[in-house]
């Protein structure tokens, strides 16, 4: 993308008339010919098709003339070839199997198909919370103390585990027990003390058949913040900043006895569940959150947006819980709103502006750093 903002805006407009985009959502593993052997997805069976449609509709409103919607399965390559796709938008958590968030980007890398999404390594690193936490340690960003349980022995044997002894023997609890890869607070439990741990470990493992994370419980307010690249699209123009854009800093509103934020599957995220942080009176909190999010984006070499979840302890120290590789991009309807869209109005942006912002950031990255891999898009630029 040219650094000149006007040139970049007109380049994007020109491309909109020529670029064929496919928005890919999770597939149905039980559909005919979707896979060779249907297995399961320990992360979640959700296809995110509804949100993929929101993204596709937005791209159409933004002037992209050819936007297709398709599922991620073993026919993806043929579908993309048939459509003549130039660029894919990945809105999938995977269709089945382990580490499923990285399957689609890995397939697209193999096919030579550029995409809006994380590269396979970053997708997997972000989605497997214990790996991401190692990266946080490396960056000096606080994250709850934790260990991983593999489910290979009886849950009571956790007390003999040398990592458990090192990290938690002197900690009476409470603890959080959760899947290493999951979504929407599913299978996330509070274990009040050591006695409560084996049952919770067993429950998470039975539901996911995957590694289980035990974390110290951080009991203060919970925040989320979005972060993406340095380009912003608003009022029909692109603007370039020096830093990644951190936006939509919100506090999740928890009920008095709500220790774990209730799953959005049970209670959709509505305006009464979030509180937009006030830039005037909560400037310090917003700056600290922004700095954490920007450091994660820059230092981990992320190539598209994430939503960072943070919880504070009673002393006001921030701990990063996770960074969601595929933040919910549902189109706001009524008072139902996705966390990442909640603060757009503060930036003078709407939903479509965010979609264009994410696309512009990715195109800019590809043109600047992966130009040799997108000759078919470079050719469209004339
Ligand atoms: N160590 C912790 N201390 C306190 N609360 C926690 C901790 N880990 C998780 N939680 C609670 O559980 C919820 C879900 O956990 P987490 O964000 O790790 O997983 P998720 O299911 O992937 O979430 P999301 O809904 O963001 O996709 C958090 O929003 C928070 O309320
Ligand atoms: Mg979370």
Please give the pLDDT value at position 1.
Answer: 67
User: Could you tell me where the DSSP H helices lie in the chain?
Assistant: 5-16, 49-61, 76-83, 103-111, 120-127, 129-139, 162-168, 197-208, 283-299, 351-369, 375-380
CA 40 to CA 21: how far, in whole Å?
29
Taking CA atoms only, the protein residue closest to ligand 1 atom 10 is 260
Residue ranges per domain, the chain?
5-117, 145-216, 220-362
- The yes-or-no answer to whether 145-216 and 220-362 have a common fold is no
Please give the pLDDT value at position 2.
Answer: 65
CA–centroid distance, 266 to ligand 2, in Å, is 15
Check whether domain 5-117 has CATH 3.90.550.10, yes or no: no
CA–centroid distance, 323 to ligand 2, in Å, is 7
pLDDT digits (tens, 9 = 90+) for 44-87: 888 999 999 999 999 999 999 999 999 999 999 999 999 999 99
List, in order, residues 6 or more apart from 266 with CB less than 8 Å away.
none
CA–centroid distance, 324 to ligand 2, in Å, is 7
Mutate which of 174, 180, 260 to test ligand 1's pocket (most atoms within 8 Å of Cβ)? 260
Q: Tokens 């997708």: give the residue.
A: 123
Please give the pLDDT value at position 267.
Answer: 76
Compute CA distances 211 → 42, 266, 300, whole Å: 10, 24, 23
* Residue 178 CB–ligand 1 contact under 6 Å: yes
pLDDT digits (tens, 9 = 90+) for 217-258: 999 999 999 999 999 999 999 999 999 999 999 999 988 888
Percentage of the residues of the chain whose pLDDT score is greater than 70: 99
* Residue 161 CB–ligand 1 contact under 6 Å: no
Lowest mean pLDDT among 29-33, 334-338, 350-354, 358-362: 334-338
- Backbone φ and ψ for 206, nearest 5 degrees, come out as -60, -35
> For 220-362, CATH number?
3.30.470.20
Taking CA atoms only, the protein residue closest to ligand 1 atom 24 is 184
* Residue 43 CB–ligand 1 contact under 6 Å: no
* Residue 164 CB–ligand 1 contact under 6 Å: no
Q: Give the pLDDT mean for 140-150.
A: 97
CA–centroid distance, 86 to ligand 2, in Å, is 32
CA–centroid distance, 251 to ligand 1, in Å, is 13
Percentage of the residues of the chain whose pLDDT score is greater than 90: 82
Taking CA atoms only, the protein residue closest to ligand 1 atom 15 is 185
> For 145-216, CATH number?
3.30.1490.20
pLDDT digits (tens, 9 = 90+) for 262-318: 777 777 777 888 999 999 999 999 999 999 999 999 999 999 999 999 999 999 999
């Amino acid at each position: 993308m040219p650094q000149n903002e006007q040139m970049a805006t007109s380049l994007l407009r020109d491309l909109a008339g020529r670029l064929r985009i496919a928005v890919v959502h999770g597939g149905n593993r039980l559909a005919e010919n979707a896979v060779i052997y249907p297995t399961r997805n320990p992360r979640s069976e959700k296809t995110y098709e509804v949100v993929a449609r929101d993204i596709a509709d937005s791209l159409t409103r933004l002037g992209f003339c050819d936007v297709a919607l398709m599922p991620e399965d073993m026919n993806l390559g043929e579908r993309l070839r048939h459509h003549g796709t130039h660029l894919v938008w990945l809105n999938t958590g995977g269709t089945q199997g382990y580490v499923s968030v990285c399957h689609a980007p890995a397939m697209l890398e193999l096919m030579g198909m550029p995409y809006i999404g994380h590269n396979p390594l970053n997708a997997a690193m972000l989605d497997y919370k214990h790996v991401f936490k190692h990266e946080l340690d490396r960056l000096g960003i606080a994250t709850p103390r934790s260990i991983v349980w593999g489910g290979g022995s009886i849950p009571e044997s956790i007390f003999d585990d040398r990592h458990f002894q090192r990290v938690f023997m002197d900690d009476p609890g409470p603890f959080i027990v959760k899947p290493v890869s999951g979504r929407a607070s599913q299978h996330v439990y509070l274990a009040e003390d050591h006695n409560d741990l084996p049952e919770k470990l067993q429950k998470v493992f039975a539901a996911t058949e995957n590694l289980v994370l035990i974390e110290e419980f951080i009991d203060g307010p919970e925040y989320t913040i979005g972060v993406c690249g340095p380009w912003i699209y608003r009022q029909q123009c692109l603007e370039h900043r020096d830093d990644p854009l951190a936006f939509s800093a919100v506090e999740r509103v928890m009920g008095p006895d709500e220790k774990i934020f209730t799953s959005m599957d049970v209670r959709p995220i509505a305006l009464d569940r979030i509180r937009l942080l006030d830039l005037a009176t909560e400037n310090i909190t917003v700056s600290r959150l922004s700095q954490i999010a920007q450091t994660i984006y820059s230092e981990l070499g992320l190539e598209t947006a994430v939503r960072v979840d943070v919880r504070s302890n009673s002393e006001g120290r921030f701990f990063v819980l996770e960074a969601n590789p595929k933040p919910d991009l549902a189109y706001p309807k009524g008072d139902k709103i996705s966390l990442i869209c909640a603060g757009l109005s503060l930036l003078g942006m709407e939903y479509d502006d965010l979609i264009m912002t994410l696309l512009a950031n990715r195109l800019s990255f590809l043109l600047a750093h992966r130009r040799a891999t997108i000759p078919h898009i470079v050719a469209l630029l004339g």
